[in-house]
Amino acid sequence: MSRKVWIETVLVVAIVTGLYIYLPTGSVGAETAVVIPAAAVDNPKAAGPLQTAVLAGGCFWGVQAVYQHVQGVREVLSGYSGGSKSTAEYETVSTGATGHAESVQIRFDPKEVSYGEILRIYFSVVHNPTELNRQGPDVGSQYRSNIFYSDETQKKIATAYIDQLDKAKVFGQKIVTRVDPLKAFYPAEDYHQDFLVKNPKQPYIVKFDIPKVQNFKTTFPALYRGEPVLVKKSS
């Protein structure tokens, strides 16, 4: 079942039964954060130009929402990576036949947060890296776990971290996250940007994404910022 189908099903049930749907934040559909060690291989924090990370971990609404609360992050865009420009459009990507994954582009200050810390959040609270071509109710290669590296240093950190976590048997199952070179990132449609902030009571957001932000705040309090960095403010 895709995100779109899940939302439509919830709405149909509500209409047919005449029920008012109330999903209390944090109590329904909450994912349990996995406490994991820091990356043994990482860049030291140092002043320099903004760096970019591109990650895919299921529905980009929740992934964007988490990283918008990370200290040192300056911009987070939802979008598509892995396919061509001609197919970088939501309905087309949703077919699962484009090669694209719903992704986020994160621009961050390397003095405040490291690439390894970005990945630690990714593996711990953003998604389940042991699920192949799906996350929660969302099924298809467009929801795969995928790190898109922009240089050899990012590739080295990502592959070493996956090996470290697998050897430690942190998740109980083997990590299936792909590590691929970044060829291009295509921003998603405007209505997908800042989606959680603009739609905090939307059923899917309440059930699957708000708990991720709450888990991030609890698990990484030193990296959490209360005010999210929004696309409309950073662009």
The H or E element containing residue 232 is helix 231-234
Write out the E strands in 82-132: 101-108
Which residues does 191 contact at the CB level (< 8 Å), separation at least 6? none
Q: Report the distance separating Cα 85 and Cα 144, nearest Å.
A: 19
User: Which of these, 210, 211, 202, 212, lies nearest to 6 by C-alpha position?
Assistant: 202
The H or E element containing residue 64 is helix 60-67
Catalytic residues: 59
Given a contact cutoff of 8 angstroms between Cβ atoms, the answer to whether 206 and 28 are in contact is yes
Q: Within 13 Å and on the Cβ side, how many CA atoms surround 85? A: 2
Provide the greatest CA pair distance for the chain: 57
Q: Report the distance separating Cα 12 and Cα 122, nearest Å.
A: 33
Query: If phi over 0 gives left and psi between -120 and 50 gives alpha, with beta otherwise, what is residue 228?
Result: beta
User: Which of these, 130, 149, 5, 160, lies nearest to 57 by C-alpha position?
Assistant: 130
Q: What's the order of all strands across the beta sheet hosting 185-187?
A: 178-181, 145-149, 51-57, 101-108, 73-81, 185-187
